[in-house]
Structure 1
Amino acid sequence: MLKNILWATLICISALISGGMFQTETASANNSDNPEKYTFLFFVQGLNNTDLDGSGLPNIKRLQSQGISYQQMSKTLPAREQDALTGVLGLRDNQLLLTRALEDNNIDCLLIDGTGTISPALASENRLEIITEKNDQRAVDKFVDQITEHQFAVIYLDDTSTPDKSNNSSHFHRWSLADNQVGRVLNQLIKSDRLSDSTIIITGGGDSPPLIIYNSKIDQPESFYHCRQQDIAPTICKIYGIIPPAEMPGHILYESLPQTSGKLLTNNLKHRINDLQRESQQYYQQISLLDEEQQLVKEQKEEVKKERESIHRIISDKDNTIQRMSMQIKILKFLGVLVIILLLAGYIFQYRWLRKKFLIFP
């Protein structure tokens, strides 16, 4: 009897353990399929790095002071000015490489267009949901109610502030309205307890745009010197553990990612060094090509110079020939006139001599 009770107890314990393990494995599988990560990319048309100097823009500056920022960023060069945002998203042959890569990995994407300039057809073709308004505030109004329904959201802002004459204009900032929309999204993330799972990226379409990357898991704020705007798309792919497509330009900004361990930090630094070395090699190749082209241009200049000197010599020879022929013509003219004069003189002399001798002329 006691033996049967012991066997029953062991069977129950093993069943409980296996059930717990099954639930743990299921939970981890679900977590891996749905990492519960949110990324919000703010693109402020016309925003420059210098706009962050001085007073104003408290929300953007708070993210800058607590995250990763870059002092210089090379801007993506769009074919048209309205393509500034789509250039950041990796537009190639009417395809947004970033959103397509995310959607292919079950990451829901949403575009909040407060400018009213993004084509709905472009969004639909790239499986990108879109909220479009011609006013930043109305667009963000529609977004905050569904802020956690999409894991990746792009917020495109362009409304500028105008100084209020009734208030002290010293507190005025051109991008205060855009900063307010950033603050609204932050407050909604705090209320929904999602800020700790979120990465917030801020950049712009000015001549020298900023780049700010905020994540609560970043241990120490850092300011790096330089990056390129096209590095944003592969970095976002890395945030979700996605390998960037081969045709996507740019490199992953490993230094902007949260470092959970020293080993991960070392590996990320190695990857970043390799990327920079490849980039340097590309630059050296371009410099080498430019040097070859410059040498070719010098050789062509020398050839042009020689041809020019040859043409000058030919022209000079022709000028000398023309001058010599002109002198010969003048001499011939003079001799001709002289001959005519001599003939006239001889005729007159002969006429008078005959007249005197024969008196046949009156």
Structure 2
Amino acid sequence: MTEALAGRYFLPGSAHFVTARARLDGPNFRIVDDAGTVLSEMPLKHVRVSSRLGSIPRRFDVPGGGCFETDDNDGADALLAGGGRHASRLHRWEGSWRWALGSLAVAGVATYAFVIYGIPAGALWLAQQTPPSVGTLVERQALQVLDNTLLEPTTLNTAARVRARTLFARVAAKGKRGSDGYRLLFRDSKAIGPNAMALPDGSIVMTDQLWELVQKDDEIEGVFAHEIAHVDRAHTLQRLYQAAIVPAAIAIMTGDLSQITTLATVLPGVLVQAAYSRDLEQEADDDAAVTVKALGDNPAGLADLLERMEKKICGETACGSGWLSDHPETDRRMQRLRQQALPPKKDSI
């Protein structure tokens, strides 16, 4: 016989237990109470034993529904070894510092890969599956939050608004949704400053402060084309879903309005503070360049506006909240846009 293993025996189908001991008697696993009465006995190979996990009590489930439980994990391992059964591979890994470090490294790599690749991929899929009604609801609630906090009614005069709408209509006609699929909203915002924001339903918010810096039509056309590209490619929704991936998934998969409301409260902060990734920003710039050239204008206009904003607003210090701060690597963007510029027109003979 092996040395007795102290523990508790739970009677079949009951939460009641009695103090008991277990040991091997040849090939058999025997459980006895304090008086030595045999409570259960069967071949060890018929006993189902839980894996060792830290200091969690070990369970020996016997045929018929009874269960022997012990806190002595070392004793349980010794008993199993005496019967020809050895500790699980999981426990051997747990007890090895090499495996522990390796597991931590694998977990770290997996977490990094999920954050860098998994969440963006999931956000892209969710954005592509979002029905228009959800985008409209999110836009309506998010805009209400912005209007109550950071945005104020426009102070642009009628002539400026008419001019801006005319240029916007030219650009919108080139978008995937057509001229009726987008709308331009005017807002004043000393808090945000020069900025333009694309909302999921196709609304583009332009601040008065941005319009005041525009000197040529192709500059603001570039901004409009850039923001419309964000709408067409669902970039705004991707940013939103990356910031709130769990409620986003629940909202899109179940249509739960409470989760959609949660998304709407997140979107204003995403729009004002979060930056587009380099890839999303480059896509929008490239699309904008194609659109502006299709209009017969110059993509370099957007680069000129970016440069002017950087000099007048940022100076020698870093930019604060605004359209530039939401769009990283301004120098690289200006260079790329100017590389796509139209060649200078030759003088007619």
TM-score in same-fold range (> 0.5): no
Larger C-alpha radius of gyration, 1 or 2? 1
TM-score (norm 1): 0.28
Higher relative contact order (CA 8 A, sep 6+): 1
Relative to its length, the structure with more helix (as a share) is 1
TM-score (norm 2): 0.29
